[in-house]
Amino acid sequence: MPEFWKSAGGHLLETTDDGWLKVTPDYLRAYFTRPEIHPVEESCEAEHALFETLMADPFCKVDSDQIARIIDEDARENYQIILGFRDLLIKHGTLEAAYISMMKQSDIRVPPVFIDQMVHVIMHNILRSVQDPLRARAGELFFRDQNVNTSDGQLMLADEEIVSMHAETGGLGGLGQLLTSTNTPMASVELDVLDDDNKYQYWERSDRFDTVLDLRFTQPGLDAFARVIEAWISHFLRVETRVQPMQSITDERWSWHVGLDIEATRILNALYEGRDVPVEDMTRIIALFKLDFRDPADAVSSMQHKPVYLGLAMGQGSRVKMKPQNLLINLPLVKES
């Protein structure tokens, strides 16, 4: 199978018998060596001691006194954050269980970057045997913000961070920043749109996140995204679904919907309630889907043999920030995940 997303850290984890990712010492060590945590030469003796203790035994108990003895205030706060995250992972044993538990909390104290990293490696686990590179590219939506280009009838999604980098530096890093600051003309940088002719190049550049997904209706990219949604739900909830792209919702029996982001949730709620929705808001919707449960008994009685509608929308700045947890906590299921 092709290798992809080495940056996800999947090699640091073990897989349980049911296919979830078991927290390991090496995975925790990767967080303790982050720049915010790793001591520098000027760090105090207590900070060095705590770091060495955690590297030797990432699962060891750390009491409040050990943290209080650290002189630097920022370092103390960083250790409180990273140890809170560690304790959550240890408590639940797997990344998937920790993720679901965290998403059900009203007050999430884990930094967003850590959550995105969790989704990154979980999605890698879900797609580890996939042979269609478009599905891997569609999986990026679950943990990386996207920039949408709708000019000339297009519906192209590119990585927000990469687009911003190219806008600021022309994709040339520090040299690009220097040229920009001196108003030196630079050649425009175009990202490659994946299609049937070039899609397999994705594997060798997957960690660069520099390819573009065509999400227009009837295009393979939209179908790939639908298949990834099915796989995400199946992996976490053990529920099999059929997800089909749609152009509009005309169902008079519309009973349930799930927004895949904040904007889509807001717009779909308004439509469901029969409120007038401005044209500008309607144009924010970039994808609609119909989800059916393959086994109707998986749904609550009132939703058996009825579809759930899904929507994805772009917010300010033509930006898509997906909330994949909505697919796990907002479906009308009989059993709890």
pLDDT band (50, 70, 90) for residue 106: confident
Q: At 170, is the secondary structure helix, strand, or coil?
A: coil
Residues for the chain: how many in total? Answer: 337
H-assigned helices in 42-126: 45-56, 64-68, 73-92, 95-103, 112-126
Q: How many CB atoms lie within 10 A of CB 182?
A: 7
pLDDT at residue 183 above 80? Answer: no
With beta carbons less than 8 A apart as the criterion, state whether 101 and 88 touch: yes
Please name every residue paired with 289 in a beta bridge, in sequence order, or none if there are none.
245, 310
Tokens standing for 283? 């144009």
pLDDT at residue 189 above 50? Answer: no
Average pLDDT (41-45) is 95
The more confident residue out of 106 and 66 is: 66
For residue range 49-86, list pLDDT tens digits in order: 999 999 999 999 999 999 999 999 999 999 999 999 99
Q: Which of 80, 83, 88, 103 is nearest to 23 (CA)?
A: 88
Q: Which of 113, 125, 141 is nearest to 31 (CA)?
A: 113
pLDDT band (50, 70, 90) for residue 298: very high
The more confident residue out of 17 and 337 is: 17
Sign of CA dihedral 262, 332, 21, 106: positive
Average pLDDT (133-152) is 97
The more confident residue out of 120 and 218 is: 120
Strands 211-214 and 192-193: parallel
- pLDDT for position 174: 44
Distance CA 108, CA 76 (A): 20
Please name every residue paired with 290 in a beta bridge, in sequence order, or none if there are none.
244, 309
Sequence-ordered strand ranges (E) for the chain: 14-15, 21-22, 146-149, 156-159, 192-193, 211-214, 241-246, 257-259, 285-293, 308-313, 319-320
pTM: predicted TM-score of the whole model, two decimal places: 0.92
- pLDDT for position 336: 57
Q: Which of 97, 37, 26 is nearest to 67 (CA)?
A: 37
Maximum separation of any 2 CA atoms in the chain, in Å: 68
Please name every residue paired with 287 in a beta bridge, in sequence order, or none if there are none.
312
- pLDDT for position 171: 52
H-assigned helices in 210-278: 220-237, 262-272
Q: How far is CA 224 from the centre of its chain?
A: 16
pLDDT at residue 175 above 90? Answer: no
Q: Which of 240, 249, 251 is nearest to 268 (CA)?
A: 249
- Report the amino acid identity of residue 303: M
Full strand arrangement of the beta sheet holding 257-259: 241-246, 285-293, 308-313, 257-259
Distance CA 148, CA 190 (A): 14
Q: In which residue are the tokens 């099999």 written?
A: 240
| 209 CB-side CA count, 13 A | 24
Q: Give the Å distances, CA to CA, from 40 to 37, 65, 81.
A: 9, 21, 19
